[in-house]
Amino acid sequence: MTAITKKTETSIPSITTPQPRHGLSTQAVHAGERRPLPHHSLTLPIIQSSTYTFKDTADLRAFMEARLWGVKDGRIEYGRYGNPTVAAVEEKIAALDGGEDALLFASGMAAITTTLLSILRAGQHLIITDDTYRRTRQFCLTFLERLGIGCTVVPAGDLEALEAAILPGTRLIVSESPTNPYLRVIDLNCLVAIARRHGVKTLIDSTFVTPINQRPLEFGVDLVLHSATKYLGGHNDLLAGVVVGSQALISLIRDNLGVLGAVSDPQSAYLLQRGLKTLALRVQRQNATAQVVAEFLEGHPAIRRVWYPGLASHPDHEVARQQMQQFGGVVSFEIEGDLETTSRFIDAVTIPIIAPSLGGVESLIEQPALMSYYDHSSEEREAVGIQDNLVRFSIGVEDAEDIIADLTQALSGL
């Protein structure tokens, strides 16, 4: 076998992409698309291939040699290790979040589970907040604990409890911000200060606000996660997840993705990049409508309480003002009444559709007690903070006046 010798950096150049100082909407349209695109296409081509070819053995050897020495030239040999359409979307999202690299997955859950399995090992420990997505908590408290990885759940926003929960083996702090469904906002500056004091990494799920409203990496957070199924895709027609961070951390997770196999397919990646092009427009519209809706609901006698960071009544309003551009398109609120009263209200609205998701162009509404916790008793739901009269309203891009009129008629019948 012929010996492999290390080539100089100039013999196999790596591709580097400058980060232009453009606005987020401009980057959402253009980042990651290196022109001219193949065949001079205006839109990003879908490279529908499971494997990639080599001209001859010398071409193969050059590829393998480059990979041995860590020189990246953009080439791929097999679909589980990458795809040009997927790579372009990863570059676009990395630019939007201000990260060095991003990694796309088949779903948001694939993103969080692969990331946790990549960072943690037996004997170590992580901390999550109690308002984190219930499936994430379930994975941490059951699957990870079977692997010998400890997990402590602390109240969202209670940074003193969070710091007290740090153990010698703690390696990671995981939280959403804003959280689901009460939209609690974590003070990222304080969180990062605590984590760095103890040598702990941080991961923030920023699904609810997107890079348009909040960029946690700018506060020193190590990893940002999105369920790209939601706002990034924006049209309720794909499943995807993404993690953004430093090249070193993303490279570690990428190696494990190649083994675990929860890769994004090029069709979904194409739909995602198409949705990303209008991300800023959609989110700005949803921000504005959500603020109006939250203010309307807070003043209505049939509403007990509204949870929205854009309201002064929200417990984290001041923190949200300091670290977010706007406050997102989800409004949670409590009806004056019980489980059945709340169900009657949801059945009475005509614009929002009952469905378990958020972030798309269509307004969606749900009663978490039934949608996510149907198999729990009322007492069990209350113990985990889910009230029977709670409503989560994901606002789409419909006219704000129409949404207000619809809510008015639905509430008048209670």
Per-residue pLDDT band for 31 (boundaries 50, 70, 90) equals: confident
* pTM confidence score: 0.90
d(CA 34, CA 21): 16
Per the domain annotation, does 92 fall within a domain?
Answer: yes
Number of domains into which the chain is organized: 2
Whether 205 sits among the annotated catalytic residues: the reply is yes
On the question of pLDDT at 9 being above 60, the answer is no
Per the domain annotation, does 10 fall within a domain?
Answer: no
Residue 385 is classified by DSSP as T
Spot the catalytic one: 137, 184, 230, 381: 230
pLDDT at 69: 82
Spot the catalytic one: 133, 182, 231, 270: 133
Q: CB of 241 within 8 A of CB of 104?
A: yes
Question: What angle do helix axes 339-348 and 400-412 make, rounded to 10 degrees?
Answer: 140
Shared domain check, 294 and 256: no
Place of tokens 């006219």: 399
Among 72-81, 98-107, 357-366, 368-377, the minimum mean pLDDT is found in: 368-377
pLDDT at 374: 65
d(CA 161, CA 154): 6
Boundary (domain end) residue, out of 228, 247, 276: 276
Domain with 108 in it: what CATH number? 3.40.640.10
Write the CB contacts of 185 (distance below 8 Å, at least 6 apart in sequence). Answer: 157, 177, 178, 179, 309, 316, 319, 320, 323, 324
Average pLDDT over residues 339-351: 97
Domain with 377 in it: what CATH number? 3.90.1150.10
Torsion-angle region of 234 (φ positive above 0: left; ψ -120 to 50: alpha; else: beta): left
Whether 230 sits among the annotated catalytic residues: the reply is yes
Whether 121 sits among the annotated catalytic residues: the reply is no
Token representation of residue 67? 């990979």
Shared domain check, 193 and 305: no
Boundary (domain end) residue, out of 276, 299, 316: 276
Whether 80 sits among the annotated catalytic residues: the reply is yes
pLDDT tens, residue by residue, 302-337? 999 999 999 999 999 999 999 999 999 999 999 999
Per-residue pLDDT band for 62 (boundaries 50, 70, 90) equals: very high
Per the domain annotation, does 19 fall within a domain?
Answer: no
Spot the catalytic one: 205, 222, 265, 388: 205
Q: Could you list the residue range(s) of the whole structural domain that residue 138 is in?
A: 24-47+83-276
Per the domain annotation, does 170 fall within a domain?
Answer: yes
d(CA 86, CA 105): 9
Q: Which residues share a beta bridge with 154?
A: 129
Spot the catalytic one: 34, 72, 75, 80: 80
pLDDT tens, residue by residue, 387-405? 899 999 999 999 999 999 9
Boundary (domain end) residue, out of 225, 260, 276: 276
3-state secondary structure of 139: helix
